[in-house]
Amino acid sequence: MKRIMGIDFGDARTGVAVSDLLCSIVGSTCVVPSRNREKTIADIVKLARENDVGSIVVGLPKNMDGTEGPRAELCREFAEELRKASGLEVAMWDERRTTVEAHNILSQHNYHGKKRKNTVDAVAASLILEGYLAYLRR
């Protein structure tokens, strides 16, 4: 069985979460810089290979009414580039409120300032992956 990777794509940083071998929980997280898209994709493909990832799920930022805006289109383009570069199946997952929830989780655990800024994207990627894994178990 191969792991599943969750991605929270952002302009400055991209959160990455990787499942455990059983694809039941999040096993590890990290953040990669996003200013250079080609390097971001190369970094994610490298992480996928190092972690024996079999598929990827990218967060799709929808509006609260379920519609998609310009940011969703950017994420779809990113996911397609990632699919081509990695050769892996890439799914999209509704990520509404994951960043808000990530901030709430970090506040509850006393993460503030720079510490939070460097962690929130990884937590959001974990929430995307957790949601997707729960969906697959159903």
The one-digit pLDDT tens for each residue of the chain (138 residues) are 799 999 999 999 999 999 999 999 999 999 999 999 999 999 999 999 999 999 999 999 998 888 888 999 999 999 999 999 999 999 999 988 787 788 788 888 887 777 777 788 998 999 999 999 999 998
Q: 99: alpha, beta or left, given left = phi > 0 and alpha = psi -120 to 50?
A: alpha
Residue-level pLDDT at 115? 72
| CATH number of the domain enclosing 32 | 3.30.420.140
Residue-level pLDDT at 105? 85
- Among 123, 122, 50, 39, residue whose Cα is nearest residue 85: 39
Residue-level pLDDT at 21? 92
Range of the domain at 11: 3-137
Residue-level pLDDT at 108? 86
SS3 call for 125: helix
How many domains in the chain?
1
Residue-level pLDDT at 97? 78
